[in-house]
């Protein structure tokens, strides 16, 4: 999604014609390469550098935690140049790229890599947007990615809660079912309410995106709420189901691992709270 958004927003006509048709058909995938060993949410610590050499850029650096890094034909790479951070479109077939597969606890259906750029040469027209304005390019497309992560978290929470509630309705304790106990009912009611609130927040942010209205605040709130409820649901599933959830042939183990992995995707809950506070404390903000 990020690649398509970036190309549509600031891509040149040549870049759009080269990449968008194949991306739209699903024939190729794209990956985003931002994080580094010493740079997560702090972009000023990015060390990957691009130096102009005639009609080419030469990339050197290391990107980490890159989902689909090797599978993606197109990689969007944030690197520093003489003019500042810049977003580059890098073809997988470019020479000087080395992949190191990682072994994450979650999101295993999207393989994760560390990606090494070693004198990687890419064409001069590989810049997405304007040189030195990479942060603007990145932020213009990353908000939609956060909504995608929020949606993933909501989907996992919903699936986990459905499994757990189904168990409480079928499991008998004496003459009663687990779902007959008020304490269990309150847990289910609380989690369902929080899940619905997260869905509404996500839907509002998505609607604002479609209306082309600024939605920095709403997207951060949606990602935060989705993370909170998903984390609570996967933990409370063990309260609702007891030892039933403690086996690998049940889905709860995967739910936990997926949520823990996604909580960092698009920015942690603490980063989202910082974003919300920043938006609310602007002089122009009104409740």
Q: What is the pLDDT of residues 68-95, one digit of tens each?
A: 999 999 999 999 999 999 999 999 999 9
The reply to whether 149 and 19 lie within a common domain is no
- For residue 11, the model assigns a pLDDT of 93
The reply to whether 266 and 143 lie within a common domain is yes
Backbone φ and ψ of 257, nearest 5°: -65, -40
- For residue 40, the model assigns a pLDDT of 72
At 256, the pLDDT band (50, 70, 90 cuts) reads very high
- Asked if 178 and 184 count as a contact pair (C-beta separation under 8 A), the reply is yes
The set of residues, in sequence order, having a beta carbon less than 8 Å from that of 175 and lying 6+ positions away, is none
- For residue 272, the model assigns a pLDDT of 94
Choose the final residue of a domain: 103, 130, 157: 130
- Is residue 286 in a domain? no
- For residue 9, the model assigns a pLDDT of 86
Q: What is the pLDDT of residues 230-243, one digit of tens each?
A: 999 999 999 999 99
Q: What is the pLDDT of residues 160-190, one digit of tens each?
A: 999 999 999 999 999 999 999 999 999 999 9
- For residue 26, the model assigns a pLDDT of 93
> Does the pLDDT of residue 41 top 90, yes or no?
no
CATH number for 74: 2.40.110.10
The reply to whether 125 and 151 lie within a common domain is no
The reply to whether 111 and 183 lie within a common domain is no
Coil vs helix vs strand at 36: strand
The reply to whether 231 and 121 lie within a common domain is no
The reply to whether 125 and 186 lie within a common domain is no
- Helix axes 134-170 and 2-10, enclosed angle (nearest 10): 150
- For residue 44, the model assigns a pLDDT of 83
Choose the final residue of a domain: 96, 130, 164: 130
Query: Is residue 232 within a helix (H) or strand (E), and if so which, with residue range?
Result: helix 216-241
Give the mean pLDDT of 48-55: 96
- Is residue 35 in a domain? yes
The reply to whether 175 and 267 lie within a common domain is yes
The reply to whether 180 and 265 lie within a common domain is yes
Instruction: Give the whole-number percent of the chain exceeding pLDDT 90.
Output: 85
CATH number for 157: 1.20.140.10
Backbone φ and ψ of 207, nearest 5°: -65, -45
How much is the mean pLDDT over the chain?
94
The Cα 102–Cα 214 span in angstroms is: 36
Full residue range of the structural domain in which residue 193 is found: 136-280
The reply to whether 239 and 271 lie within a common domain is yes
The reply to whether 223 and 275 lie within a common domain is yes
Q: What is the pLDDT of residues 92-107, one digit of tens each?
A: 999 999 999 999 999 8
> Does the pLDDT of residue 137 top 90, yes or no?
no
Give me the number of domains the chain comprises: 2
Which residue would you say has higher pLDDT here, 5 or 121? 121
Q: pTM value?
A: 0.88
The reply to whether 154 and 246 lie within a common domain is yes
- Is residue 287 in a domain? no
The reply to whether 84 and 159 lie within a common domain is no
> Does the pLDDT of residue 140 top 80, yes or no?
no
Q: Which of 14-18, 175-179, 210-214 has the lowest mean pLDDT?
A: 210-214
Give the mean pLDDT of 220-236: 97
At 43, the pLDDT band (50, 70, 90 cuts) reads confident
């Amino acid at each position: 999604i990020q690649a398509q958004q970036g190309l549509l927003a600031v891509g040149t006509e040549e870049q759009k014609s080269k990449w968008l048709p194949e991306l739209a058909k699903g024939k190729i995938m794209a990956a985003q390469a931002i994080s580094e060993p010493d740079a997560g949410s702090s972009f000023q610590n990015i060390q990957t550098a691009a130096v102009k050499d005639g009609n080419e850029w030469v990339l050197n650096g290391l990107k980490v935690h890159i989902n689909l890094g090797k599978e993606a034909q197109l990689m969007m790479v944030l690197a520093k140049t003489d003019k500042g951070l810049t977003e580059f479109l890098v073809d997988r077939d470019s020479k000087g790229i080395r992949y190191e597969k990682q072994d994450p606890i979650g999101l295993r259906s999207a393989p994760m890599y560390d990606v090494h750029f070693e004198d990687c040469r890419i064409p001069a027209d590989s810049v997405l947007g304007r040189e030195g304005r990479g942060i603007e390019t990145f932020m213009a497309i990353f908000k939609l990615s956060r909504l995608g992560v929020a949606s993933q978290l909501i989907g996992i929470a919903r699936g986990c809660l459905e499994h757990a509630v189904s168990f409480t309705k079928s499991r008998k304790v004496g003459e009663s079912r687990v779902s007959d106990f008020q304490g269990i009912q309150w847990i289910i009611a609380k989690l369902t309410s929080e899940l619905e609130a997260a869905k509404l927040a996500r839907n509002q942010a998505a609607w604002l995106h479609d209306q082309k209205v600024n939605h920095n605040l709403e997207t951060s709130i949606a990602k935060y709420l989705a993370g909170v409820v998903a984390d609570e649901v996967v933990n409370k599933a063990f309260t609702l189901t007891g030892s039933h959830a403690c086996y690998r042939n049940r889905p709860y183990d995967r739910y936990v691992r997926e949520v823990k992995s996604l909580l960092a995707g698009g920015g942690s809950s603490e980063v989202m709270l910082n974003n919300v506070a920043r938006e609310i404390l602007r002089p122009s903000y009104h409740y």
